[in-house]
C-alpha cells in the first residue's frame, strides 16, 4: 500500500495549528496511508502547547512530532521532516492555512498514477484565491520567470508552498538551505535531476502581515541569489 508523508513545518502558528491538523486528519484516500510529520521550529507563542494538547485529545496515531529548541528556518524543518518520513510520496504543508489540505488529493494524483515524479501546486492556474498584495504577485511572477530562464522549465509558480515528491527522488537531492531559500534550491535541483514535473491548480488563502504572514521583500531579493547560486555554482 502506498503511503504519503505530509511534512508540516510550524513556527508561531498558535491560532491555526489545531485547524490545520483537523483538516489534515480529514483527508482520506482509498488504499493509501497517510502520516503527518510536525516539525516545530522553535515556536515561542504557545504553539508547542497547542500541539501537545491536540495529541492528548485526539491521540498520536498517524502523527509524528519533532521540536527544535531554536528557530532554524523552513528549510531546516523540511529536511528534518524528510529524515522522519516513511512515505513513498513526501509533500509539504504550511501550518498557516494559506494552503487548504482539501487540495492534497489533486496534488499527489499525478504521482500516484505514475505520470509525475514531482508536482507543484500553482496558485496562478485557477482555483479560488484571496485578493491581496499586487507587488507580491509581481514579485512571485518575476522570480518564477527568472527561475524558468535558469532551469528551462515553464512553471507558473516556483515559490509555491505546495510541492509533492517521490520520496526516493527527494532523498537524492542535496538540500542545504535552512530558510526560504529552500524553494529555489528545490526547483534547481529537481530540474537538474531530469524529473518529470507536473503542475496542478490549487486554492490559496493568503494572509496579511497583521495576520501573521512572514515572508518579506528581503526574502524575494535573497531568492534571486539562491536561483543564481543553485543553478550555476552548486
Closest CA to 202 of 137, 126, 144, 131: 126
Are the C-beta atoms of residues 27 and 34 closer than 8 Å to each other?
yes
Q: Give me the pLDDT at residue 145, please.
A: 96
Q: Give me the pLDDT at residue 30, please.
A: 87
> 46: phi > 0 → left, psi -120 to 50 → alpha, else beta; which?
left
Please report which residue ranges of the chain form alpha helices under DSSP H. 17-25, 47-58, 74-84, 104-112, 134-151, 167-172, 182-193, 217-232
Domains of the chain: 2-232 (3.90.550.10)
Q: 80 is written with which cell numbers? A: 528534518
Closest CA to 234 of 163, 195, 198, 181: 181
Q: Give me the pLDDT at residue 131, please.
A: 60
Are the C-beta atoms of residues 28 and 57 closer than 8 Å to each other?
no
Q: Give me the pLDDT at residue 137, please.
A: 79
User: pTM to 2 decimals?
Assistant: 0.92
One pLDDT digit (tens) per residue for the chain, 234 residues: 899 999 999 999 999 999 999 999 999 898 999 999 999 999 999 999 999 999 998 877 799 999 999 999 999 999 999 999 999 999 999 998 899 999 999 999 999 999 999 999 999 887 666 665 677 778 889 999 999 999 999 999 999 999 999 999 999 999 999 988 999 999 999 999 999 999 999 998 875 545 555 566 677 788 899 999 999 998
- Distance CA(69)–CA(72), nearest Å, equals 9
Closest CA to 96 of 183, 7, 198, 19: 19
Q: Give me the pLDDT at residue 52, please.
A: 95
Q: Give me the pLDDT at residue 186, please.
A: 98
Q: Give me the pLDDT at residue 208, please.
A: 58
Instruction: Say if residue 168 is exposed, middle or buried (CB neighbours under 10 Å; 0-12, 13-18, 19+).
Output: exposed
- Distance CA(171)–CA(115), nearest Å, equals 19
Q: Give me the pLDDT at residue 108, please.
A: 98
CA-to-CA separations, 67 to 41, 64, 128, 161, 171, in angstroms, rounded: 6, 10, 33, 21, 22
- Distance CA(135)–CA(105), nearest Å, equals 31
CA-to-CA separations, 13 to 96, 161, 231, in angstroms, rounded: 6, 16, 33
Amino acid at each position: 500500500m502506498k503511503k504519503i508523508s505530509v511534512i508540516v513545518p510550524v513556527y508561531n502558528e498558535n491560532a491555526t495549528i489545531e485547524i490545520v491538523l483537523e483538516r489534515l486528519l480529514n483527508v482520506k484516500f482509498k488504499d493509501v496511508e497517510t502520516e503527518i510529520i510536525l516539525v516545530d521550529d522553535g515556536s515561542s507563542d504557545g504553539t508547542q502547547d497547542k500541539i501537545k494538547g491536540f495529541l492528548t485529545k485526539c491521540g498520536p496515531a498517524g502523527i509524528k512530532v519533532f521540536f527544535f529548541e531554536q528557530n532554524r528556518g523552513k528549510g531546516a524543518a523540511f529536511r528534518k521532516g524528510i529524515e522522519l518520513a516513511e512515505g513513498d510520496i513526501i509533500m509539504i504543508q504550511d501550518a498557516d492555512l494559506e494552503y487548504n489540505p482539501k487540495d492534497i488529493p489533486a496534488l499527489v494524483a499525478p504521482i500516484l498514477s505514475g505520470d509525475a515524479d514531482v508536482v507543484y501546486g500553482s496558485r496562478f492556474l485557477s482555483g479560488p484565491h484571496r485578493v491581496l498584495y499586487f507587488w507580491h504577485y509581481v514579485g512571485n511572477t518575476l522570480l518564477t520567470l527568472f527561475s524558468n530562464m535558469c532551469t528551462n522549465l515553464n512553471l507558473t509558480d516556483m515559490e509555491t508552498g505546495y510541492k509533492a515528491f517521490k520520496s526516493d527522488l527527494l532523498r537524492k537531492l542535496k538540500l542545504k538551505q535552512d530558510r526560504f531559500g529552500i524553494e529555489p534550491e528545490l526547483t534547481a535541483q529537481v530540474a537538474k535531476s531530469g524529473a518529470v514535473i507536473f503542475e496542478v491548480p490549487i486554492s490559496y488563502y493568503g494572509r496579511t502581515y497583521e495576520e501573521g504572514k512572514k515572508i518579506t521583500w528581503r526574502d524575494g531579493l535573497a531568492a534571486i541569489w539562491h536561483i543564481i547560486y543553485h543553478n550555476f555554482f552548486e
